[in-house]
A and B are shown apart, each in its own frame.
Chain A
Amino acid sequence: MTCLGNAFCYDIDMLRTMKGPIISLRGITKQYPPDIIALSDIDLSIEKGEFVFLTGPSGSGKSTLLKLLSCMERPTSGELSLDDFDLTNLSASQVPYVRRKVGVIFQDFKLITTKTVFENVALSLEVIGLSSEQISKRVRDILELMGLASKTDRYPPQLSGGEQQRVAIARAVVNRPSIILADEPTGNLDRGMTNEVMALVEELNAEGATVIFATHDESLFAHTYRRVLTIHEGRLRA
């Protein structure tokens, strides 16, 4: 078991021994009515523990791909599997269980403004039915790790953009998902905060989480050794 602080623990040895794709797309097409093709014939395989950058201009289909992976959208055709789930034929009642395996970080944070920082992060643990004591401990640990220990009772509008994004990351990873989908998470942040967020996501990946990081900021992956996927007009370029 490897842990990031006390809060974020993956069984990294288990993850490394379980080689094989955690995400697999075969001929995935997504079409919106009447005839807008957002994704066309996408074939993609992502290994467990991999960190992949997903880039492309605005409207190229990055967000649509992430929406398919988080079950916010269904593919029009093709086969899509995520961990042990076949998303192509997934029943509505199974969707929440897929989402618990996927932590999503958004550019606009998507925090509930009427709930405190603690309550926002706790939501991910409440849905999986942990006890109040377990929730309290894990939320406090992750908030401490994210440098937000002193802001647990604040509401999102009382925080800076970087702090809000850290809360969103805390919420996305507090239930230890095996996959993290980041949709332009640094789009609203300055350089300093962007580096901070990147460091956090890389640390989570180092602990065993598979990461798909969508961005059109080339500086984030210009000198990386990681795989970079480019989408242009709904098609994937190697």
Chain B
Amino acid sequence: MNLNHFIQRAVADFRQNLPMQLMTTVVVCLSILIFTFFSFIYYNLQRTVERFGSELGLVVFLKTDIQESKIPILHQKLLNLPGIENVKYVSSEEAFERLGTYFEDAKGLLEGVDQHFLPASFELRINRAIFNLERIHALAVELEKWNEVAQVQYGKSWVDRLSAFVAVGEKVIWVSAVLLLATAAFVVSNTIKLAIYARQEEVSIMRLVGATNGFIQGPFLLEALFQGLVGSLLSIGLVFLCYSYFKGIVAQTELMRGVELIFLPPSYVISIVASSVVFCVCWTFLAIRRFLLV
């Protein structure tokens, strides 16, 4: 009995039991679709938070009475700090200009206001590789102790809230992922079991005419492999369609500017397909085994 013969029999069996085979494939597809879609959302949420966090910088506001000559020295001093990737000096004039741009539609608001009323500042960009919220906080506390520094800002409350949200979200997602996986495993395993039960008579007749366990199991396992493969690929395809659709919407939505949807990386896709195939094949093996015991 060679592989070619197994494939021929599996194809014939698939054709003869088409409704049951399709139902199993659809159940596999839907179960994995829910999990894949959830993974897609989680992956993007995680990436977005990471990106926002790593783009976060510190703004060091200087005292208004600081001497111009000290600016280059401070600039160098800040650059020498560990983890600082870039330092940009923003003079009080430049800060005023930025404010003007911000109030472009209501220029009258700034009429008669002194152009030097805003403090000069340094904008610090943190190295992404060593980004860490606690380190930023420690750095801000340290910088505030400098004589030339009036205040340090880094969006602490926003970052704290985002971090808290992500921490809770992560727990919810993990619990949901485990429940979803358990549900998918339960549904798929029972569908496979039912499909095998429906062919119990066929299996007993094959045994009766002298078929070995390998002869009986071979096509069933190939069918399971096909169901796992097609079911998971279909679900990933559907999630990709959703991704393509939502990507366009997100890009056009002002509120979500800066957010970029990313499709699941190849390692995720391969893991999902492989897990699906292995699960279907193993469960079919176990389900059919009970009918093969003498």
Q: Do A and B bind each other?
A: yes
Annotate B1-32 by CB proximity to A: 1 below 8 A, 0 otherwise. 10001000100100011000000000000000
* Distance from B277 Cβ to chain A, minimum over Cβ atoms (Å): 25
Cβ of A95 and Cβ of B205 under 8 Å apart?
no
Determine whether B201 belongs to the interface, using a CB cutoff of 8 Å to chain A.
yes
Cβ of A112 and Cβ of B201 under 8 Å apart?
yes
Q: Select the stretch in B112-120, B208-216, B241-249 that faces chain A.
A: B208-216
Set of chain B residues within 8 Å of A99, measured between Cβ atoms: 207-210
The interface residues of chain B, by DSSP majority, are classed as helix
Cβ of A114 and Cβ of B207 under 8 Å apart?
no
Which of the listed residues B16, B201, B207, B208 has the most CB atoms from chain A within 10 Å of its own CB?
Answer: B208
Set of chain B residues within 8 Å of A98, measured between Cβ atoms: 210
Determine whether B294 belongs to the interface, using a CB cutoff of 8 Å to chain A.
yes
Annotate A117-132 by CB proximity to B: 1 below 8 A, 0 otherwise. 0010001101111000
Set of chain B residues within 8 Å of A175, measured between Cβ atoms: 209-210
Cβ of A92 and Cβ of B294 under 8 Å apart?
yes
Set of chain A residues within 8 Å of B202, measured between Cβ atoms: 112, 114
* Distance from B290 Cβ to chain A, minimum over Cβ atoms (Å): 14
Complex alpha-carbon distance, A144 and B172, angstroms: 68
Annotate B189-226 by CB proximity to A: 1 below 8 A, 0 otherwise. 00000000000011011111111100100000000000
Annotate B246-268 by CB proximity to A: 1 below 8 A, 0 otherwise. 00000000000000000000000
Determine whether A115 belongs to the interface, using a CB cutoff of 8 Å to chain B.
yes
Give the residues from 197 to 218 in chain A that come closer than 8 angstroms, CB to CB, to chain B.
Answer: none
Return the chain A residue nearest B209 by Cβ: A124
* Distance from B192 Cβ to chain A, minimum over Cβ atoms (Å): 18
Set of chain A residues within 8 Å of B204, measured between Cβ atoms: 110
Complex alpha-carbon distance, A124 and B209, angstroms: 5
Cβ of A127 and Cβ of B294 under 8 Å apart?
no
Cβ of A171 and Cβ of B16 under 8 Å apart?
no
* A96-B201 contact, Cβ under 8 Å, with A114-B16, A119-B12: no
Cβ of B17 and Cβ of A127 under 8 Å apart?
no
Cβ of B212 and Cβ of A127 under 8 Å apart?
yes
Set of chain A residues within 8 Å of B208, measured between Cβ atoms: 70, 72, 99, 104, 110
Return the chain A residue nearest B293 by Cβ: A92
- Minimum-distance CB pairs A-B, first 5: A100-B210, A99-B210, A114-B16, A127-B211, A124-B209
In the assembled complex, 23 residue pairs joining A and B whose CB atoms fall closer than 8 Å, in A order, are A70-B208, A72-B208, A74-B294, A96-B212, A99-B207, A99-B210, A100-B210, A110-B201, A110-B204, A110-B208, A112-B201, A112-B202, A114-B16, A114-B17, A114-B202, A123-B211, A124-B209, A126-B9, A127-B209, A127-B210, A127-B211, A129-B1, A175-B210
Q: A111-B205, A112-B205 are in contact. List 19 more A-B contacts (CB 8 A).
A: A92-B293, A92-B294, A99-B207, A100-B209, A100-B210, A110-B205, A110-B208, A112-B201, A114-B16, A115-B16, A123-B205, A123-B206, A123-B209, A123-B211, A124-B209, A124-B210, A127-B215, A129-B1, A175-B209
